[in-house]
Amino acid sequence: MTPAQEVDYILNDCFFAVGQAVGTEKSIDFNVIQWWRARYRAFFLHAMTVNGNSWLKDRKRVTAVGRFLGQRALFHAAERPSIDLQTAALASHDVETGCRMSAERDGVAPQRLGEQ
Amino acid sequence: MNTQEPRISIHTGIATRSDATVTSALVDSTSPVNALELERQVDYIMDECLFALGQAVGMRTTIDYDAVVWIRDNYRAKFLSAMKAFGDRWQRDRSNVTSVAMMLGERAVRYSEGKPSIDLDSVLKAAADVERHCELHARRTARKMGLNPSDAAATRIAGYWCNF
Taking CB atoms and an 8 Å limit, are B65 and A20 in contact across chains? no
The alpha-helical segments, DSSP class H, found in chain A are 3-22, 30-51, 55-77, 85-105
pTM: 0.83
Confidence of residue B152 (pLDDT cuts 50, 70, 90): low
ipTM for the predicted complex: 0.91
Segment A65-104, tens digit of pLDDT: 999 999 999 999 999 999 999 999 999 999 999 888 887 8
pLDDT confidence bin for B89, thresholds 50/70/90:
confident
- Smallest Cα distance from A52 to chain B, Å: 18
* Chain B residues with beta carbon closer than 8 angstroms to that of A33: 44, 47-48, 51
Torsion of CA B133, B79, A3, A23, to 10 degrees: -50
> What is the structure's pLDDT at A52?
85
Measure B83 CA to nearest chain A CA, in Å: 17
A12 contacts B44? CB cut-off 8 A: no
The verdict on a CB contact (< 8 Å) between B51 and A23 is no
Chain A contact present for B103, CB below 8 A:
no
Quick check: A20 contacting B, CB < 8 Å? yes
Which of residues 71 through 110 in chain A touch B, CB cutoff 8 A?
none
B138 neighbors B60 (Cβ within 8 angstroms): no
> Does residue A24 sit at the B interface (CB-CB below 8 Å)?
yes
Distance CA B50, CA B97 (A): 11
CB contact under 8 A, B55 and A63: no
Give the whole-number percent of chain B exceeding pLDDT 90: 47
Residue among B18, B44, B41 at smallest CA distance from B29: B41
| Per-residue pLDDT band at B72 (split at 50, 70, 90) | very high
Q: How many CB pairs under 8 A join A and B?
A: 79
CB within 8 Å: A33 and B63: no
CA distances, A79 to each of A50, A68, B89, B106 (Å) = 40, 19, 29, 26
Long-range CB contacts (within 8 A, 24+) of B141-146: B141/B11, B141/B14, B145/B14, B145/B16
Long-range contacts of residues B25-32, Cβ cutoff 8 Å, at least 24 apart: B26/B2, B26/B87, B27/B2, B27/B84, B27/B86, B27/B87, B27/B88, B29/B83, B29/B84, B29/B85, B29/B87
- A37 contacts B71? CB cut-off 8 A: no
Judged by a CB distance cut-off of 8 A, whether residue B120 touches chain A is no
> Looking at the predicted structure, is the pLDDT value of residue B100 above 80?
yes
